[in-house]
Amino acid sequence: MDNQKKYKLITLLGVVNFPQMPISCDIRRESSKASIIEAYNRAEQLIFVTQTKPYLSDDVISSINNVGCLSSILGVDEHDGVLQVQAEGTKRMSIQSVVKENDSLFCYATELQSVANNPEKVSVLLNSAKEHFVEYTSYDKRITPEILRLVDSLNDADSFVDAVTTIAVRDEKKQLSILNQVVVDDRLELLIGYLLEQIEIAKVNVELSNKVHKSMDKNQKEYYLREQMKAISEELGDEVSEFDEIEQKIKNGKMPEEVKTKALKELNRVKKLPNASPDYSVLRNYLDVLLELPWGIKTVDNKDLVRARQILDEDHSGLDKVKDRIIEYLAVMHLTDKIGGQIICFVGPPGVGKTSIAKSIARALDRKFVKMSVGGVKDESEIRGHRKTYVGAMPGRIIYNMGLAGSTNPVFLIDEIDKMSSDFRGDPTSAMLEVLDPEQNSVFRDNFLEVPFDLSNVLFIATANNISDIPTPLLDRMEVIELSSYTLNEKFDIAKKHLIPKLLEAHGITENDIKIEDEALKEIIDKYTYEAGVRGLERTLASVCRKVAVKAVNDKEKVLYVVTKNNLYDYLGAHKVIVEGKREYPEVGVVSGLAYTTVGGGVLTIEVNLVLGDGKIVMTGRLGDVMQESAKVALSAVMGKAQQFGIDPEIFHKRDLHIHVPEGAVKKDGPSAGCALATAIYSVFAGKKIDNDLAMTGEITIRGNVLAIGGLKEKLFACVRAGISKVIVPEQNREDVKDLPQDITSHLNITYAKTLDDVLQKAMI
């Protein structure tokens, strides 16, 4: 105890430090780095000790070897948070106890002195060890003649053992057993035993090598490694090797000849590599990917169009035009027995069934279905893959998903194709051109595969929310099918047929536990959700189901809970949506316009006021650039017809025009409010009131012509929802009205306008 001294303690994983031997190690633990730097700066020695467990426990001494090495720090260098340390051991130290101070480890240790039980025996063992080491070096080509001469000059038994163990012994446990041994005789015997063991292994390898060489002639040298592995398998009594199985799979598979040739070439390469080689894992991974792909495997299409229509109707309510187009598409595909080179792109607001209808197509065709979301993808390699020379290289997501599909003709959904973007890593939309081009995708080359893969039998379906965000070359390769927002009746049918049964099952309740009356369901759709699709409706109905589930668990007797329009507040609270309704009375300068948004349509109240000024226009309500231009165009259209309308032209220069659109926190943009703006501007200058039971939409020109607009279904549905009975739409949209569902048009008196005169004639009271 009196000889114990206190030292800084550094624990090492997988490294054993011996006296008089240099050591190089990387230190990442902050407390250890601080101790080493302090010791280096003060020229102090510290103790390196090897961990015997992967992690240090609270009782540190149970996690480390009980013998360490007192060492001097020769140099330190820190890069990227890693401290590179060069040190040299001086003495073996027996660690008695370990303490922790401010996160740093210290130990109390005494020097471990070697003991020679029989000096004569030590001398004999030392000479024997030197002879065996010389023999060992004849097999281990890493040991140079300089190292051999240096070790041979060591006459101190301890120094010789430490040096040879550091150089020749690879096993950490054997290194520690030699380090821990106090008796010199035993240390030498342990070392000699290890050297003899390695010499025997080397001799067996040489014998195997000779055996292989004897069975080969001069023309078979390239098969050396393969024959050597066969000889090893025979020696061990193994069955068919893993590489033989891979070779059989390649030869018996349906790969094209070009792919088979490439696969066999890479297989021959990997056979010649040692397992520890970096290229070994790369080539093995490459072969695994090739074998996992469905070369030549196709599912048989179901050509029953009646069944296909039935599946589409089962899975989706409404969307009749979309279903008809899909049936036409499938009919042509079945008659020609090929896809026809056309890619479908479903465009519509969120939640209207773009993804689910793609799944229904796969079910109708009896094809496999895979989905790849490309929203936010910026790297071209996500599509085309990385070259296999890169570390961690993998195939692109197209090839990866084809492997998951298990056939060469799946329905392949590319979701959110409008949300891809490009940066310094490349343009994924350009890579997607090759995938979706029927002229190219039959020989699609992934950077990882380096061989062509046929995508021509794949039925690609893309989805997008905004068609304007899709690059033109990509859009040109797709046939766009628009899915508009659902009407109230369509949402009602979807809820009754699909959502409510699905939610009842998901919440563990049945129709005997809950009944949602039709009026209550309509109230939920109208007053608690405001969206184009039905996702919000599903979440709201799920909230009702959860509350009923709680009641069903708490109530001892089984009760049918009826959700009515009157008790809806108990389940969902106050109304979540305030619908912009019909104005109470006709006013001057106030008109109801119609807007199209990502959640459907809406009524847009536009207010115009005149104030004293010099002809300026003031616009408020967060109007976008296009809408501000529409306001200026509308003013020009009215000013150009001032005399026709009986308006004094001088008043335009004596009054300022203030245009305001309420809900100033919401940004508004688009050209379709031109008619409404012109009507409101005319109203304030002429002093005439505008019909409060009328809404309008249409773009205006400075000549007063009314142009067509988009989003007509959503805008007219907003009129129905707001209780407005009359609506003015552009004459150019007359044909579009014919395609609208009856539950919209039957509630509206729709009139058409070619010019501003037509609009004013119908709008003014």
Residue with tokens 């026709």: 644
| Beta bridge partner(s), residue 668 | 623
Backbone angles phi, psi at 245, to 5 degrees: -65, -45
Distance CA 36, CA 41 (A): 9
Q: Which residue is associated with the tokens 């096993």? A: 171
Two structure tokens written together for 527: 């007053």
> Which 3 state secondary structure label does DSSP give 110?
strand
| Alpha helices (H) along 45-171 | 119-137, 145-152, 157-168
Residue 413: phi and psi, rounded to 5, are: -90, 125
Active site residue 672: yes
Residues 6+ apart with CB under 8 A from 253: 260, 291, 295, 296
Q: Identify any residues that bridge with 706 across adjacent strands, giving them in sequence order.
A: 700
Angstrom distance (rounded) from CA 368 to CA 363: 8
**269, burial (CB in 10 Å: exposed 0-12, middle 13-18, buried 19+):** middle
Residue 360: closest CA among 298, 308, 407: 308
Distances (CA, A) of 88 to 5, 18, 73, 143: 20, 8, 7, 20
715 is catalytic: yes
CB 572: neighbour CB atoms within 10 A? 19
Return the structure tokens found at 35: 């101790």
580-609 burial string, b = 16+ CB within 10 Å, else e?
Answer: beebeebebbbbbbbbbbebbbbbbbbbbb
Q: Which helix (H) or strand (E) holds 32?
A: helix 30-42
E strand segments, 613-740: 617-620, 655-660, 689-690, 694-696, 699-700, 706-707, 726-730
Q: Helices H, strands E: what count in the chain?
A: 29, 26
* DSSP letter (8 states) at residue 382: H
Q: State the catalytic residue, choosing from 715, 725, 754, 762.
A: 715
The CA-based angle 22-25-30, given to 5 degrees, is 135
Note the helical H segments in 366-461.
381-384, 397-405, 428-436
Contacts of 248 (CB under 8 A, 6+ apart): none
Q: Per DSSP, what are the bridge partners of residue 695?
A: 592, 727
Radius of gyration of the chain (CA): 41
In sequence order, what are the beta bridge partners of 659? 608, 619
Query: b vs e for 183-213, b when ≥16 Cβ sit within 10 Å of the residue's Cβ?
Result: ebbebbbbbbebbeebbeeeeeeeebeeebe
Q: Of 32, 317, 592, 672, which residue is the catalytic one?
A: 672
Q: Note whether 402 and 293 are within 8 A (CB).
A: yes
Catalytic residues: 672, 715
